[in-house]
Structure 1
């Protein structure tokens, strides 16, 4: 995939060695690039897509990262190119470790608090200044269109929804839609691999293609699930409540959390 790079990117990568990165579920090919004495780089490559979900379009992610860089630490977009049906985004490498790494037991509480503090910082960005819409009207339209196009991955459904069709799940989604939304600037896929920490503080947010204005529970729902998922055994039961307490919602709306987890099944 790295043999025929766009010229603008190939020029920047002369002398660099590429190493694939497997962590994360973005769907893109992700490569760490290193050269002695030079700052590390990250390259994401994926096919151009007409998917209604902006998380599958690097053009969308590049635009959002450039905007977010004024507010929170994110990778610097160095080049974005489209060539021969593929998208290429070259970024600076952010220092730090992801929340999904195996943290020593004595550090885990500090890590979860830092992740909550990072989210509060993101959610404090003035909504009226954000140009990206991921409110329910938009997200449900995306979910409906992905259902119509057969793009929803049924095999990836949580256990409680296994055996259901996307159409059946869409009916449940519409029936349980909250009556209101508490809008903030959301990450859109706020889970452990997408938060980088250094010295106990946020060093960078990544995988930002779904960022935009949405209910804060969009992010709360996915991080609490991530903290209790089998994919992250260093955490587990009870860490969701530590996170919510640190965020400032010790008594969350669990029905709203379940709704936003259900919404995520379509993406």
Structure 2
């Protein structure tokens, strides 16, 4: 199924969006009569129960985060349609930070990643109803491992070829003894951030289904990995250092390796 059958969505032109790795099918909805551009995410509740549940979680987190003054997409509708679940949101302005940018704007984009992280991490933790601290998330990672939901073909290069048992042993062996808890995005990487054309301003956060209370290094680990990824050849080590310097964090903190390992389970 690629289209919702009922108006008004059936009157839009649907274009698949392939960037991102959420597991959901994503479409851009365009209309030539002046209605706002929309995005639709869908998943099968029978064959993708974890992805379908993630869409429901994302809808509640978008509503909460938007209420905190952070730029996120407005939820138009969350609906079930037969076996499918659909999340419809309004489009946000800006370009993906993962796109190819002019060389003279890349440093500014790295710094803007740090700025939005600072804003997000400064939100009051007492107001956040979503919990992704280790006491909750490690058992969830274990459950995902037991259910066969960990993609062993898509591990980071330094863990290529590892088994589930190796991943779990390392996860428990390197678990931090404490957490510096803030409100975290949870999947903080370049494709999940929109930026204005000048590169200095974040216009929106995407894919917030894993937002919740967690150690700040959960976000810093993933964004610094994203900036250093061979898939984003436009950024370099200087941009990674610029990100950490702007944020005011230690790029050698041992929690970085742990939270990248934890991300292997998702």
TM-score using structure 1 length: 0.93
**CA deviation map 1:155-198 (0-9, x unaligned):** 11112212221121111110110000000000000000000011
Aligned to 1:45: 42
Unaligned runs of 5+ in 2: none
Aligned to 1:109: 107
How do residues 1-267 of structure 1 correspond to structure 2 at under 5 angstroms? 1-3=1-3, 5=4, 10-36=6-32, 37-48=34-45, 49-51=48-50, 57-71=54-68, 72-198=70-196, 199=198, 200-249=200-249, 251-267=250-266
Are residues 222 and 55 of structure 1, via their aligned partners in 2, closer, same or farther at CA, if it must alter by over 3 Å?
Answer: farther
The runs of at least 4 consecutive aligned structure 1 residues that moved more than 4 Å come to: none
**CA deviation map 1:240-264 (0-9, x unaligned):** 1111111122x34431100100111
Unaligned runs of 5+ in 1: none
**CA deviation map 1:117-136 (0-9, x unaligned):** 01111111100100001001
TM-score using structure 2 length: 0.93
How far apart, in 2, do the equivalents of 1:239 and 1:254 lie? 17
How far apart, in 2, do the equivalents of 1:174 and 1:56 lie? 26
Q: What RMSD, in angstroms, separates the aligned Cα atoms of the two structures? A: 1.5
Deviation at 1:2, TM superposition (A): 2.4
**SS at 1:69 equivalent:** helix
Deviation at 1:14, TM superposition (A): 4.4
**SS at 2:14 equivalent:** strand
Are residues 88 and 97 of structure 1, via their aligned partners in 2, closer, same or farther at CA, if it must alter by over 3 Å?
Answer: same
**SS at 2:41 equivalent:** strand
Structure 2 contact 74–90 (Cα < 8 Å) conserved = yes
Are residues 135 and 253 of structure 1, via their aligned partners in 2, closer, same or farther at CA, if it must alter by over 3 Å?
Answer: farther
Structure 1 contact 27–56 (Cα < 8 Å) conserved = no
**SS at 1:184 equivalent:** strand
**SS at 2:88 equivalent:** strand
**CA deviation map 1:61-117 (0-9, x unaligned):** 101101110120100000000122211011000010011010100011111111110
How far apart, in 1, do the equivalents of 2:139 and 2:116 lie? 29
**SS at 2:208 equivalent:** coil
Q: May I ask how many residue pairs the two structures share in their alignment?
A: 260
